[in-house]
Chains A and B, each alone.
Chain A
Amino acid sequence: MNEREKIIEVKELVKKFGNFTANNKLTFDVFKGEIFGFLGANGAGKTTAIKILCGLSAPTSGFAKVAGWDVGKYPNKVKSNIGYMSQKFSLYNDMTVKENFRFYGGIYGLPGKEISNKTSYYLEKLKMEHTQNVVLNEIPLGWKQKLAFSVANIHDPKVVFLDEPTGGVDPVTRRQFWEMIYETADKGTTVFVTTHYMDEAEYCERVSIMSEGIIEALDTPAKLKEHYGVDTMNDVFIKIAR
């Protein structure tokens, strides 16, 4: 395999809460422009790991480097070089579309002119120019999720973390969302994504599957299916997580 630039580097990462080990010696790399699926059962330790990788929680031991910065030593540097969106928390419902862009652009320290350029760029791309002064609350969920993804990319981060980004949206919107993910990855941004939709696991370049704090499997979807002798990622998941 060619030497690809590592955007996420994790070695022997451990996170304990009291006696409970939420992450047990996680070791993996994610490369530039890769779409990496981070799967696991509820309670397997995914959220804990994502929090560490985003600089929101310090590891108990081990090492993780994201976008060139050690998460334990320089959490704020990590934060400014990554994008994040989740289904639960993404944008502010009582601000307009434009205000959300301005707010997040400001947080990432972009100059005013660039924020307005980026806002126009994304709204044009999403064909949502007419919504710029609409309060977010009044916008359908599918559109909101596309907006949230654009906002998470406003500062051209090296990696964007997506925590169940497609939960609840209709099957057409879900597919449009994945088109956006592909486009972003093609531009060289790494996409780190969690999902409970197993067909979406197929869209990832590589996936890891966590169970009880450990990464049980990590490979391309094709190789995982071959290794476990099953036809779908759903069956792979059930073999590992049950």
Chain B
Amino acid sequence: MSADINITNVSKSYNEVVALKNINLTIDNGELFGLIGPDGAGKTTLFRILTSLVLPTDGEVHIGELDVVKDYKKVRRNTGYMPGRFSLYSDLTVEENLNFYASIFNTSLKENYDLIKDIYIQIEPYKKRRAGDLSGGMKQKLALSCALIHSPQLIILDEPTTGVDAVSRMEFWELLKKMQKRGMTILVSTPYMDEAALCDRVALMQNGKLLAVDKPQNIVNSYKGSLFAVSANNMHSLLSDLEKLDNTKQVFRFGETIHITSNIESDNQYIEEVNKHLVSCGYNNISIKKTNPVIEDCFLALMDIETEDKDKAE
């Protein structure tokens, strides 16, 4: 099965709640594709449609030549799915879970051991332990092993790194890169904006809509306007004082600095204005530097445009 995915005009409603609004998206065979967005954006709904677990209200999805509604059996055979919520059997051991999932697909742990070795090796010492007694990180590795056990061409991972610490997240992404090298198509969702840079392409998602689809670098490059990182001696009051500035589009905290976006052409003039304002407010150690946007800046800017459009429509 080729695993390029074609999503055409897909919508999904649950009674009055519209979870997906007319999604069009193509994902290439062998791609590591990220779906980035907060809770409630519609990521899980889209994944559940792709895995044939729910039916779209409208539209079609094809994986290679297969239609996810008509050919759902074949789709399931070739797809590995790791849901966001831990859904293995807590009262089976690590080994029993793996054997169970392998047997469903007429294969065995032995046969596909090579495929999951990199991951499984880290939990193998605990293979006699019940899945329910594993730590969060180990549960995640077991779930991934189970999703891979039938050698799928496409693997879909729903927020595998939510609630996972920065170091384990990094290790998990290294694993995904390895899987990709074996030729798998990988579709992964995350609420962590910094993980976008690790994907070949990403879709930024909010309120059931795609805000942008592109290579992470292209999304960053298409950021409009100038972005500045500001800091001063009292970071807390700085935020509300910056919000009073003229010629300023957005003001938000960003790690150790506050990011502001300018509405005017000249960067130097803007910096001067900001500096003047902050001096008059009595700040010391003022630093105003032009900075390069990251995905989170782009997301915040796109959310802003989205809200403006909505306001205009109403």
Q: Which residues of A does B touch, CB under 8 Å?
A: 40-44, 87, 140-142, 164, 167-173, 175, 178-179, 182, 186, 196-199, 202-203, 221-222, 232-234, 237-238, 241-242
Please determine whether A43 and B162 come into contact, CB atoms closer than 8 angstroms. no
Q: Which chain A residue lies CB-closest to B165?
A: A41
Interface flag for B303 (CB, 8 Å): yes
Segment at the A interface, from B87-95, B113-121, B248-256, B269-277 = B248-256
Is B38 touching A170 in the complex (CB atoms < 8 A)?
A: yes
The answer, yes or no, to whether B59 is at the interface (CB within 8 Å) is no
Closest CB-CB distance, B250 to chain A, in whole Å? Answer: 10
Q: List 10 A-B contacts (CB under 8 A).
A: A41-B167, A43-B135, A44-B165, A141-B38, A172-B252, A197-B192, A199-B255, A232-B255, A233-B255, A238-B166
Do A242 and B167 form a contact, CB below 8 Å, given A43-B137, A170-B303? yes
Q: Which residue of A lies closest to B164 (CB)?
A: A42
Residues of the A chain whose Cβ atoms lie less than 8 Å from the Cβ of B193: 171
Report B-chain residues with C-beta under 8 Å of the C-beta of A222: 256
The answer for the CA separation of A197 and B169 in the assembled complex, in Å, is 11
**B54 on the A face (CB < 8 A):** no
Q: Are B167 and A168 in contact (CB under 8 A)?
A: no
Q: How far is the CB of B158 from chain A (nearest CB, A)?
A: 12
Contact: B38 with A168, CB < 8 Å?
yes
Q: Does B241 contact A (CB under 8 A)?
A: no
CB-CB contacts below 8 Å: B147-200 with A? 159, 162-170, 191-193
Which 10 pairs from chain A and chain B are nearest by CB?
A170-B38, A199-B255, A168-B39, A41-B165, A202-B255, A141-B39, A202-B256, A241-B167, A43-B135, A168-B191
Query: Cβ of B244 < 8 Å from any Cβ of A?
Result: no
Q: With A and B bound together, what is the CA distance between A233 and B167 in angstroms?
A: 12
Min CB distance B311 to A, Å, is: 15
B225 contacts the other chain (CB 8 A): no
User: B296: CB under 8 A from chain A?
Assistant: yes
- B300 contacts A140, C-beta separation under 8 Å: no
B166 touches A141 (CB 8 A): no
- What are the residues of chain A within 8 A of B135 when measuring CB–CB? 42-43
Contact A42 B296 (CB under 8 A): no
A42 touches B165 (CB 8 A): yes
- Residues of chain B lying within 8 A (CB to CB) of residue A140: 40
Which of B40, B192, B253, B303 is in CB contact (< 8 Å) with A178? B253
Measured CA separation A237–B255 after assembly (Å): 14
Interface residues of B in 1-44 (CB under 8 A from A): 37-41
- What residue of chain B has the Cβ atom nearest to residue A186's Cβ? B236
- Chain A residue at smallest Cβ distance from B251: A175
| In the complex, residue of chain B having the shortest beta-carbon distance to the beta carbon of A145 | B39
Contacts of A141 in B (CB 8 A): 38-40
Q: How far is the CB of B153 from chain A (nearest CB, A)?
A: 29
Quick check: B253 and A198 within 8 Å, CB to CB?
no
Please, which residues of chain A bring their CB within 8 A of the CB of B37?
A: 170
Contact partners of B236 in chain A: CB under 8 A: 182, 186
Q: Closest B-chain residue to A234, C-beta based?
A: B166
Whether B38 lies near A237 (C-beta < 8 A) is no
- Cβ–Cβ contact A221 & B162, under 8 A: no
Chain B residue numbers with a CB within 8 Å of A198 are: 166, 255
Task: For residue A95, give the distance in angstroms from its CB to the closest CB of chain B.
Answer: 20
A42 lies within 8 A of B166 (CB): no
User: Contact at B303–A203, with CB atoms within 8 Å?
Assistant: no
